[in-house]
């Protein structure tokens, strides 16, 4: 408890904890649907788009957050459209957009500011990067995501597992897919401030995959994923503070350990049965 009190005495750590917890919660909830729909790598792709947008914003002296959010939202919408039309498969579309955006970001960076501390923090994350504005955005975002899951749970369930059935029952599948894509895009932009473009997709993938090792129902996986994400983030932040390791990498390693632990639990259950 003494260490927790010490951590909370630093304003930048308080911002990191609050913002990180909110982003982790959003990423884990959205991640369940994304993983089941085989869009799990969308986080990686959109984070690279965000890096490209941030590089251009920094080069022009604009607000990184205000530039990257609309750009990443448009990229998510475009990605959704081309995969829905069947013109390009989802994994190929993500790889194409990801590589292109990252290449543009690197070229812009090399021609202007170079690989400065600011750019490196967006690539690999920085615990100092979370601003008051980021925290406010993350709280609003988490409220929206929680409200969506609370009010539209059954429709999200239908869209996730069987889009054809959902359409037949009158659910506006395209609208729900767009909303999920937009919320995912905003989550990635906010989360990569701490986790970095290279690690942010772990917040989407790990909690869902870990929960699926033990739980089978959509509701159980969703609840477990949210709880696990929050716990892993807190443990990762404490470990980062105690061991002086990068915050984003520490959170990912804790998520990896949780995945292995749940896998061992699953294997033990199979042996007993």
CA angle 77/81/84 to nearest 5° reads 135
| Cα four-point dihedral sign 65, 104, 127, 148 | positive
Q: Could you give the C-alpha distances from 106 to 55, 101, 115, 186, 255, in angstroms and in order?
A: 8, 9, 9, 22, 29
Number of H helices, E strands in the chain: 13, 0
pLDDT in the model for residue 90: 64
Lowest-confidence region among 51-55, 100-104, 108-112, 184-188: 108-112
State the average pLDDT for the chain.
83
Q: pTM of the predicted model, to two decimals? A: 0.86
Q: Are the C-beta atoms of 193 and 134 separated by less than 8 Å?
A: yes
Return the closest-CA partner of residue 137 out of 178, 198, 192.
192
Copy the structure tokens of residue 104.
């543009």
Copy the structure tokens of residue 186.
């905003």
Count CB neighbours of 82 within 10 A.
Answer: 16
Digit-coded pLDDT (tens) for 11-24:
888 888 999 999 99
Which one has a higher pLDDT value, 25 or 66?
25
Q: Rounded to an integer, what is the distance from CA 143 to the centroid of its chain?
A: 16
pLDDT in the model for residue 116: 54
Lowest-confidence region among 113-127, 157-171, 194-208, 236-250: 113-127
Terminal-residue alpha carbon distance, the chain: 40
Concatenating the DSSP letter of every residue in 78-101 gives: HHHHHHHTTSS-HHHHHHHHHHHH
| DSSP single-letter state for residue 127 | T
CA distance 81 to 70: 16
pLDDT in the model for residue 273: 61
What mean pLDDT do residues 257-261 have?
Answer: 93
Which one has a higher pLDDT value, 103 or 95?
103
Digit-coded pLDDT (tens) for 105-155:
878 877 776 555 455 666 667 766 778 888 898 999 999 999 999 898 988
Is 70 exceeded by the pLDDT of residue 91?
no
pLDDT band of residue 32 (cuts 50, 70, 90) is: very high
Q: Are the C-beta atoms of 180 and 79 separated by less than 8 Å?
A: no
Is 80 exceeded by the pLDDT of residue 167?
yes
What mean pLDDT do residues 32-46 have?
Answer: 81
Digit-coded pLDDT (tens) for 198-232:
788 888 999 999 999 888 889 999 999 999 999 99
Q: How many CA atoms lie within 13 A of 156 on its CB side?
A: 23
Is 90 exceeded by the pLDDT of residue 101?
no
pLDDT band of residue 261 (cuts 50, 70, 90) is: very high
């Amino acid at each position: 408890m003494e260490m927790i009190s010490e951590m909370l005495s630093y304003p930048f750590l308080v911002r990191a904890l609050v913002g990180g917890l909110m982003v982790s919660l959003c990423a884990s909830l959205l991640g369940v649907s994304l993983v089941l729909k085989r869009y799990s790598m969308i986080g990686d792709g959109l984070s690279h788009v965000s890096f490209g947008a941030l590089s251009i914003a920094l080069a022009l002296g604009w607000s990184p957050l205000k530039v990257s959010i609309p750009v990443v939202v448009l990229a998510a919408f475009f990605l959704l459209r081309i995969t829905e039309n069947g013109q390009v498969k989802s994994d190929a579309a993500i790889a194409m957009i990801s590589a292109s955006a990252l290449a543009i970001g690197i070229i812009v960076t090399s021609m202007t500011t170079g690989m400065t501390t600011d750019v490196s923090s967006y690539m690999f994350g920085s615990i100092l990067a979370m601003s008051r504005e980021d925290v406010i955005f993350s709280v609003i975002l988490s409220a929206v995501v929680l409200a969506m899951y609370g009010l539209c749970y059954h429709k999200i369930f239908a869209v996730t597992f069987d889009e054809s059935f959902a359409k037949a029952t009158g659910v506006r599948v395209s609208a729900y897919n767009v909303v999920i894509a937009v919320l995912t895009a905003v989550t990635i932009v906010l989360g990569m401030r701490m986790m970095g473009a290279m690690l942010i997709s772990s917040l989407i993938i790990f909690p869902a995959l870990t929960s699926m090792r033990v739980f089978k129902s959509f509701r159980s996986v969703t609840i477990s994923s949210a709880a696990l994400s929050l716990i892993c983030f807190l443990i990762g932040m404490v470990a980062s503070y105690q061991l002086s390791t990068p915050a984003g990498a520490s959170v990912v390693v804790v998520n990896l350990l949780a995945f292995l632990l749940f896998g061992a639990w699953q294997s033990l259950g199979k042996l007993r049965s």
